[in-house]
Structure 1
Amino acid sequence: MKADTNRYYIGLMSGTSLDGIDAALVCMEATTPRLIATHAEAMPDELYQRLLALCHAPSVSFAELALAEAAFCRLQARAVQTLLETTGMPPTQIQAIGSHGQTIEHAPGGHDGGPAYTLQLDNPSLLAELTGCAVVGDFRRRDLAAGGQAAPLAPAFHQAVFASEEHHQLILNLGGFANLTWLPPRASERKPLGFDTGPANVLLDAWYQRHQGGRFDHDGRWAASGYVDTTLLERLLAEPFFQQAPPRSTGREMFHLPWLESHLRGAETSADVQATLAELTAASVAQGIIQLGLDDTDPVVLIPCGGGAHNPDLLARLAGYVPNIALRDSADWGWPADWMEAGAFAWLAHQRLHGLPGNLPSVTGARGPRILGGIYAP
């Protein structure tokens, strides 16, 4: 196939933190993605509450789903239009938008003996209509159909951006949940791995909202004011998920406030619980790194990204668990921490349009490489 140069894609991502729509304009130069411009569209409070209520909801009406989906897609369209306006680029120059949608349920192991499923709220047809751009959507279910976890999908993109000739590269996404990508040196015969290590911001945000108001603990200040309850931490880390071998992925279906409350004894202070949740994130990420089985002599670089990369309290806790691993800024590779996931779905849209696989079977557990997503014409 002829090399694809100077082709532009937009990636859209709304993660489990529900803080807004990240839009990234990406230029594909041959096979290398380059970040051109970005825009963050904040999530309105009403839509935030509506989407939060849908996540792992025991029951929901079709009308509620349709209302939330339409509002979500219109917010995506606004993000795209703002990004194009600020760059002066017409929609006709965009090859495709890669739209992840909003995950409201993820059960790769099924539920109560039922089939595996993952559900992202999205309407690529409406998005194509509103933006005048082709849209690639529904990325996850093809991997799921091939026996995979449908997550994480970003590691293939990480490989395109971060793979090193000499170092083992660890890319850590600290969104609502934490997921880890391990990239061996290019010459290695070992295959990349990636998996969810556990909760990152999802429990921290929920506990903060309950006790402090607001959406998140800015810079981890409240967590830093408390003390780690080691016995509570031990109870939380006893959750079997943390010992499960990869491939593995998780979501709000497992880690939510009732799960946390089931481990509390009633005498804990709220600030100490927040500190312990931050410690849980750091400890479970470190445990995930240990599960990779890297040799102590291997040169390793850890690259944090996602919202948690801006949390100095969380990063300090993590550094305490992995003192021999160098933490590096993803911006050194031209990708600021906030834009990795949106960039990944721009890259995945490129893969789909060119008939190229978007998953890594060694990461998701799928039976083989698969072309991900469906194309919706403008």
Structure 2
Amino acid sequence: MGNIRTAIGLMSGTSMDGIDVALLRTDGEAIIERGPFLGVAYDAPFRDRLKLALEQAKTITQRDQRPGELAAIERELTLRHVSAVREFLDVNGIDASAVDVVGFHGQTVLHRPDEALTVQIGNGALLAREIGVAVAYDLRANDMLHGGQGAPLVPVYHAALARNVRNATLPVCFVNIGGISNLTYIGADGLIVGYDSGPGNTLIDQWVESQAGIPFDQGGMIASEGRVIDDLANRYLDSPFFTATRRRSLDRNDFPPLAGSDAELADGARTLAHVAAASVIKSAGHLPVTPTLYVICGGGRLNRILMQDLRDLARGQNADVISAEQAGFDGDAMEAEAWAYLAVRSLDGLPLTFPGTTGVREPITGGIVIRP
């Protein structure tokens, strides 16, 4: 058993909607004491800056390249994380000296696993200097150096949580529906299998923003007025991604946006919610055993249409679908909590990724730890 540390995790995910901040007390293994959580939303102009970053990052061929305005956006992103940490500490009456490490994800602007290239902008040294706390960052790169795909990293945290799921027996499958969805299977024998399962909220967000000028379909309200357009759904669900023998991690651009379709707003949102749900079930077909329980985390669990489709599809497998809250967790905080957990594992040199999660050759640690 390692030392119990107080860690803060910071997550800015593929939905690009804001910064999640969560606190854990953990030994990086079995002991997990979940603390407070704070979500800090990005304003629309900064979301536009992040979209520009995604475009300008397309020319990157080396991880340290920052073409165009990328260096300036990276600095602004980091300073927003500084502000988020300060707000979190202030709101919760926590002194920075009580925090041992901060796990800093940064913002993924490019992810090409087939080229062993992943880029998360975010200046770990600047963050550490400004908040006065050690920072563990760049947690994906070492995995790629050892043959992995750099994602997903959350499964080791899901596995630690699995033993605490209310009224459940293994195998359990955690599903995180963010911009991209990923799943983690925890078997009765302790086996961990994890991979990206397909498009999550990104396609829905892109559609409603392009058609209605709003950032996301809150609660699935728009989708609830529409119908599934089978031809459009199948265009996504027939992708070779779902049938390929080798599971691969996804970039948010791997599934093209629906923009340009002549579908009605509600029908497009309804179709893409179905795609997000069906992607999970199709990808679960690659698991060692069909799970009897899916625990849904991330923003997608708040889309009631997506969740109903998931329940309907899982029923065909004799499986149940519950939200993270029904399992006793906080679905908003889970990814940020995971980054706190991973930061402690990075400090202790414990593995972050495994052959069954990223395809890495052997369990491997990772991350750069920098002190103020």
Kept in 2: contact 1:163–1:169 (CA 8 A): no
Q: C-alpha distance in 1, partners of 2:95/2:107? A: 26
Superposed counterparts of 1:202-351, under 5 Å:
202-257=202-257, 260=258, 264=261, 266=262, 268-294=263-289, 300-323=292-315, 324-331=318-325, 334-351=328-345
Deviation string 1:311-332 (CA, Å, 9 cap, x unpaired) is: 1111001111011212233235
Asked if 1:103 is matched to 2:108, the reply is yes
Q: Against the structure 1 CA distance between its residues 85 and 261, is the aligned structure 2 distance closer, same or farther, given a 3 Å change threshold?
A: closer
Distance in 1 (CA, whole Å) between partners of 2:15 and 2:234 is: 25
Q: Please give the per-residue CA displacement for 1:339-359, whole angstroms capped at 9, x wherever unaligned.
A: 110011100110011111111
Q: CA deviation at 1:293?
A: 4.8
* Structure-2 change in CA distance of 1:96 and 1:338 (3 Å): same
- Answering whether residue 40 of structure 2 is matched by residue 35 of structure 1, we say no
Aligned partner (choices 79, 84, 87) of residue 89 of structure 2: 84
Q: Equivalent of 2:364, from 366, 370, 376?
A: 370
State the alpha-carbon separation in 2 of the partners of residues 195 and 3 from structure 1: 28
Deviation at 1:59, TM superposition (A): 4.5
Alpha-carbon distance in 1 for matches of 2:136, 2:243: 35
Deviation per residue, 1:279-322 (Å, 9 max, x gap): 11111111112222525xx6x22100000111111100111101
Q: Please name the residue that 1:23 is paired with.
A: 21
In the other structure, the counterpart of 2:63 is: none
Q: Deviations over 1:68-100 (max 9, x none)?
A: 111111111111111111222211111110001
Alignment correspondent of 1:113: none
CA distance in 2, matches of 1:200, 1:326: 19
Provide, for residues 233-290 of structure 1, a one-character-per-residue CA deviation record: whole Å limited to 9, x for no partner.
2222222112123431102231232xx458x5x4x33322221111111111111122
1:74 correspondence with 2:79: yes
Q: Relative to structure 1, is the Cα distance of residues 271 and 330 closer, same or farther in structure 2, using a 3 angstrom cutoff?
A: closer
Describe the SS at the equivalent of 1:350.
helix
CA contact (8 A) 2:206 2:259 kept: no
Q: Distance in 1 between matches of 2:349 and 2:195?
A: 25
Q: Which secondary structure does the structure 1 equivalent of 2:228 belong to?
A: coil
**Residue identity opposite 2:94 in structure 1:** M
Residues 131-150 of structure 1: pairs in structure 2 closer than 5 A: 131-150=131-150
Answering whether residue 176 of structure 2 is matched by residue 181 of structure 1, we say: no
| Displacement of 1:4 | 1.5
Query: How many residues end up aligned between the 2 structures?
Result: 360
In 2, Cα distance between equivalents of 1:181 and 1:81: 32
SS at match of 1:109: helix
Cα distance change on mapping 1:25 and 1:293 into 2, 3 Å: closer
The one-letter code matched in structure 1 to 2:25 is C
Q: Structure 1: which 5+ residue stretches go unaligned?
A: 111-115
Alpha-carbon spacing, 1:33–1:334, altered in 2? closer, same or farther (3 Å): farther
C-alpha distance 91-333 of structure 1, shift in aligned 2 (>3 A): farther
Q: Aligned partners of 1:67, 1:261: CA distance in 2, in Å?
A: 29
Is the 1:127–1:135 contact (alpha carbons within 8 Å) kept by the matching residues of 2? Answer: yes
Secondary structure at the counterpart of residue 245 of structure 2: coil
- Partner Cα separation in structure 1 for residue 36 and residue 249 of structure 2: 30
Task: Provide, for residues 142-166 of structure 1, a one-character-per-residue CA deviation record: whole Å limited to 9, x for no partner.
Answer: 1011111110000011111114793
Please tell me whether the aligned partners of residues 124 and 370 of structure 2 are also in contact (alpha carbons under 8 angstroms): yes
1:334 and 1:261 mapped to 2: Cα distance?
38
Match status 1:167 vs 2:166: no
- What is the letter of the counterpart of residue 358 of structure 2? T
Q: Separation in 2 of the partners of 1:121 and 1:304?
A: 28
Q: Distance in 2 between matches of 1:40 and 1:166?
A: 31
Q: Which amino acid is the alignment partner of residue 15 of structure 2? A: S
Mapped contact 1:195–1:246 kept (Cα < 8 A): no
Report the TM-score, using the length of structure 1 for normalisation. 0.90
Sequence identity percentage: 35
Contact residue 301 and residue 325 of structure 1 kept, 8 A: yes
